[in-house]
């Protein structure tokens, strides 16, 4: 059971998360938010380098693996942590220790950025834009979930086939190839949906409606299996260097994001949501935007 979840469930979860992402819209409509997200990604990479230089030697022989995985998770969320950990062959105990430190650090970090105020002018702009952009949400259907499962399985199979056909130096690139194929499926699905106007109860829907929720369920199963198969004592032994590493990493990330963002005149609300998306992923960013009533930034 553990092997099936680790080897099959996690790639399927990644593929499903990509299927419901409108790739074209990300590049055409995101604007300042995408720019702020790239600033945050840069801050994460610089923070990882600084943190590893400071405490990397204390992380143990597999420290570079957990550092790489934490760098990945703070560029787009926990799904990146799982994918990178699998690609690098991280041991279950080290994976669980990093995951525990990551979850605690994220909770503290979200509290910090939630407390940072945005200017009153920005808030009024966000609210007025929300009135124009708000749309009713569509519910997943049996057909959309069936198509999601088939497309995700096809993306995983095709990705592995492409990776096996590549030269030996590309060994282990199946997950990366799968991500490319899933993104192509996502773009095609969005294009077809816009062309033929698929609707459910009068609401415009994606052919892969519910894919991210379904993928999130598989990811929770993945983390549960990892946690259940790990010795807790072993995972938490020497955990404090991880917390120091993450503290340095996130401090540099936030500093770079805010500095570059304000220099580029990006609104504080946009910078905070982008930083949240870097650290926690789209779900936590949407939750923060909703909680602070920045509805135009939810999607």
The predicted pLDDT at position 290 comes to 67
Separation in Å, CA 119 to CA 9, 115, 163:
43, 13, 49
Residue 202 has pLDDT above 70, yes or no: no
- 3-state SS of 159-184 is HHHHHHHCCHHHCCCHHHHHHHHHHH
Residue 207: how many other CB atoms lie within 10 Å: 21
How sure is the predictor about 133, in pLDDT bands with cuts at 50, 70 and 90?
very low
User: Residue 15 in contact with residue 212, Cβ under 8 Å?
Assistant: no
Region 185-203 average pLDDT: 70
User: Percent of the chain, pLDDT > 70?
Assistant: 74
The predicted pLDDT at position 299 comes to 52
Residue 27 has pLDDT above 90, yes or no: no
Ordered DSSP codes for 102-131: HHHHHHHHHHHHHTS---HHHHHHHHHHHH
Q: Is 0.85 surpassed by the pTM of this model?
A: no
Q: What is the mean pLDDT of the chain?
A: 78
pLDDT digits (tens, 9 = 90+) for 263-286: 998 889 889 989 988 998 776 776
The predicted pLDDT at position 131 comes to 44
Residue 164: how many other CB atoms lie within 10 Å: 12
Burial call 113-151: b when 16+ CB within 10 Å, e when fewer? beeeebeeebbebbeeebeeeeeeebebeeebbebbbeb
pLDDT digits (tens, 9 = 90+) for 284-293: 776 677 677 7
The predicted pLDDT at position 250 comes to 96
Query: Reduced to 3 states, what is the DSSP secondary structure of residue 210?
Result: coil
Residue 238 has pLDDT above 70, yes or no: no
| 168 vs 51 pLDDT, higher one | 51
Region 109-127 average pLDDT: 70
Angle at 223 between CA 218 and CA 227, to 5 degrees: 145
Angle at 253 between CA 213 and CA 298, to 5 degrees: 35
pLDDT digits (tens, 9 = 90+) for 171-186: 667 777 888 898 898 8
């Amino acid at each position: 059971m553990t092997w099936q979840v680790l080897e099959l469930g996690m790639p399927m979860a990644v593929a499903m998360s990509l299927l419901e992402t409108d790739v074209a819209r990300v590049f055409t409509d995101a604007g300042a938010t995408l720019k702020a997200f790239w600033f945050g990604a840069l801050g994460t990479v610089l923070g990882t380098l600084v943190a590893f230089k400071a405490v990397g030697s204390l992380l143990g022989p597999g420290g570079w693996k957990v550092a790489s995985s934490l760098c990945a998770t703070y560029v787009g969320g926990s799904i990146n942590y799982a994918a990178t950990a699998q690609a690098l062959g991280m041991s279950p105990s080290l994976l669980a220790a990093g995951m525990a430190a990551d979850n605690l650090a994220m909770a503290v970090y979200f509290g910090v950025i939630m407390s940072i105020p945005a200017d009153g002018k920005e808030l009024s702009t966000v609210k007025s834009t929300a009135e124009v952009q708000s749309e009713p949400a569509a519910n997943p259907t049996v057909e959309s979930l069936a198509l999601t499962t088939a497309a995700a399985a096809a993306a995983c199979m095709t990705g592995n086939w492409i990776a096996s056909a590549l030269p030996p130096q590309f060994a282990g690139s199946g997950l990366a190839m799968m991500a490319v194929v899933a993104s192509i499926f996502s773009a095609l699905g969005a294009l077809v949906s816009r062309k033929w106007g698929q609707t459910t109860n009068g609401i415009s829907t994606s052919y892969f409606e519910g894919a991210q929720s379904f993928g999130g369920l598989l990811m929770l199963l993945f983390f549960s299996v990892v946690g259940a198969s790990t010795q807790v004592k072993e995972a938490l032994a020497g955990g404090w260097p991880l917390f120091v590493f993450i503290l340095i990493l996130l401090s540099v990330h936030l500093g770079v994001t805010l500095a570059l963002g304000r220099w580029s005149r990006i609104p504080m609300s946009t910078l905070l949501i982008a930083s949240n998306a870097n650290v926690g992923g789209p779900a936590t960013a949407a939750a923060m935007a909703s909680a602070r009533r920045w509805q135009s930034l939810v999607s």
